[in-house]
Amino acid sequence: MKDQFRLTENEIERKKGMLHLHAEGVLVHPVVNGKLRILSVFSCREKQRRFPMEADCITQNGALFFSVRENISLPDIFYHFTEEDAAHKVEVTFEYCDAKGKWHILPEAFTLAGAFFLPSATKSSIGFCFYRRAMYLFCTLFLPLWLLDGWFVTKGYKKSPYLEEGDRGKKAIFYHAHGLVKEITGYGYSVREKKTKYFAKKYRRACKRTVAENIFFLSEREIETGGNLDLIRSNLGKRQETYTEFIDTRPIHKLPYSQIRKAAKLAAAAKVIILEDFYPQLHAMDLREDTRVVQLWHACGAFKMFGLSDIGKVSHLEQSTKNHRSYSTAVVSSKGMIPFYSEAFGIAPKCVSPLGVPRTDIFFDKGYGEKIRARMQDTYPQLVGKKVVLFAPTFRGSGNKDAYYPWERFSVDAFIETLPMDTILIIKNHPFVKQKFTCREESRGRVLDLTGQENINDILFLTSLLITDYSSCIFEASLLAVPMLFYVFDLEEYVKSRDIYFDFASFAPGKQVKDFELLKEETVKILTVSGSKAEEQTEVSQVKLETEKRRKEFCEYFLGSLDGHSTERVTDLITGMGK
């Protein structure tokens, strides 16, 4: 049986440039957690945009019946679409990714006239600008009314299109009022938006007086020692290449205007801009045509959805967003990651380069591993001659403000009592989690809390067994072939509350356990296999062989471009762009 796909609606609302799509069908391949995402793939010349659509589906007799309906704004599909592009047809195809990460092209396609994709003309006459400003002043006079409306929203009496589900408090009231006024007038009260526009204005002015010739590092995060930006910067120095940088951890609404002007001037003089994370104000302006933006995304692989994959799920992320879409090149960890980053960044697959992740080069450097083990043992003498179990779970909750870990599901004392005497437990909490675990005084000599103190990648060099759940540290652990156990007591609940690209059960390179008692048994089994009975050793060896096979498949798919030379390849790319 083959996949079936039938378009039941395919119409364009010409005035708005809105494509109304509706399709139904049956799929034979299982999808992630019963959630189906079908991608509309728009292709014109060298341009391509992979647009995600959520489908309603139900499984019967091993087949997945689905229905998908989406309204797509065609002028927002491509980042830059010219009159020359508009002279060509745009092909629209459909595909989906199954639970194992394999892509399938669906059996229907059509073409559209390129003219539908031209950006909408914006009104910019003096009269219209005056009208908007007058309306802004008028709306501001009635600001108490909009704030009262926001109060009703936070109390649950009505819903707001400008807030996330569950937003409460004074900030939510303000954001609602800001959203209302901005929709009416085009102006709002956000300091962030005001300073972002100021950044764009100063950039445009600086471009008129500056030649683009520099390599420029731009980040709102501190450059981490051994991180992607640090390694590329050091390698450029070794090659005697010059560069500039603007590294400031303050978000733009907290930056003084003098620093905004400095950042804009440096950006205007850049031929290559290097990022490692989302830098929002960069996407709110039109960059020089000869400026290239390289995104060295901080994460390996792809697991939890991010970027433009969340369009339609996050209230403030609209189809018209320019976020991420100005990247000339995004560097990823394997060829298998290209479709996912292409979708998440809204860029063509040819702009996603599987050159590897520079910060992973250390995992192929034996000398570095020996040096780190020696340093860690000097710093923490209790680790000398011991096996190390690293417990590194991710957080629960929606983000930094409400992050937690349910420590009642992991008793440190009970776990320590089970471990062999030659074993130390290291706990590495997610940085968002502020709560501390508790344990008896007699257990403290065998427990080491390194939350916020050591880089988890360094700890992995000493680790005999990693216990985690949905943390991205599994990518780095896989490179070192560290045995893993996945303590996923809330698996069903977690995958329902998170949107992920892959089926966790088939994706995780290690055994999954949901019960704390079973977790203790499996831990001891892995740590003491050499002293076990012959039949137990045979059973564990068989499991290890199966796990190692899964690990290698996992590494090939997610991390296939990592070989210890990523820094050199990425530096070559950047210097080539800078010439």
Tokens matching residue 493 = 């609940």
Average pLDDT of the residues in 153-158 = 88
The H-assigned helical ranges of 31-108 are: 83-86
pLDDT tops 70 at residue 265: yes
Tokens matching residue 147 = 């704030």
pLDDT value, residue 401: 67
Q: Domain 191-360+566-578, what architecture?
A: 3-Layer(aba) Sandwich (3.40)
Q: What percentage of residues in the chain have a pLDDT greater than 70? A: 96
pLDDT tops 70 at residue 254: yes
d(CA 245, CA 229): 10
pLDDT value, residue 122: 62
Q: What is the mean pLDDT of the chain?
A: 90
Average pLDDT of the residues in 89-113 = 94
pLDDT tops 80 at residue 159: yes
Per domain, the residue ranges of the chain are 4-117, 126-185, 191-360+566-578, 382-559
CATH ID of 382-559, from 2.60.40.1150, 3.90.550.10, 3.40.50.12580, 3.30.70.100: 3.40.50.12580
pLDDT value, residue 562: 96
- Flag the least confident range among 65-69, 152-156, 496-500: 496-500
Region at 61 (left for phi over 0; alpha for psi -120 to 50; beta for the rest) = left
Count of helices and strands (H, E) across the chain: 17, 20
pLDDT digits 0-9 by tens, 481-537: 999 999 999 988 887 777 788 877 778 889 999 999 999 999 999 898 644 555 555
pLDDT value, residue 535: 57
pLDDT tops 70 at residue 46: yes
pLDDT value, residue 124: 63
pLDDT value, residue 541: 67
pLDDT value, residue 452: 81
Q: Which has the closest alpha carbon to 574: 355, 386, 360?
A: 355
- CB neighbour list of residue 380: distance below 8 Å, 6 or more residues apart: 448
Higher-pLDDT residue of 214 and 451 is: 214
Average pLDDT of the residues in 278-306 = 90
DSSP code of residue 514? -
Amino acid letter, 17: G
Average pLDDT of the residues in 42-66 = 92
pLDDT value, residue 199: 95
pLDDT tops 70 at residue 400: no
pLDDT value, residue 319: 93
- Flag the least confident range among 292-301, 307-316, 363-372: 307-316
Let me know if the fold of 4-117 is the same as that of 382-559: no
d(CA 358, CA 541): 34
How is 439-488 classified by DSSP, letter by letter? --GGGGGGEEE-TTTS-HHHHHTT-SEEEESS-THHHHHHHTT--EEEE-
d(CA 209, CA 425): 59
pLDDT tops 70 at residue 121: no
Average pLDDT of the residues in 307-312 = 88
pLDDT value, residue 32: 81
What sign for the dihedral angle of Cα 313, 317, 321, 326?
A: negative
pLDDT value, residue 531: 47
d(CA 199, CA 282): 9
pLDDT value, residue 283: 87
Q: Domain 4-117, what architecture?
A: Sandwich (2.60)
Q: How confident is the model at residue 311 (pLDDT cuts 50, 70, 90)?
A: confident
pLDDT digits 0-9 by tens, 163-198: 877 778 888 898 899 889 988 888 888 888 899 999
pLDDT value, residue 538: 63
C-alpha distances in angstroms, 564 versus 228, 304, 457, 570?
13, 25, 15, 12
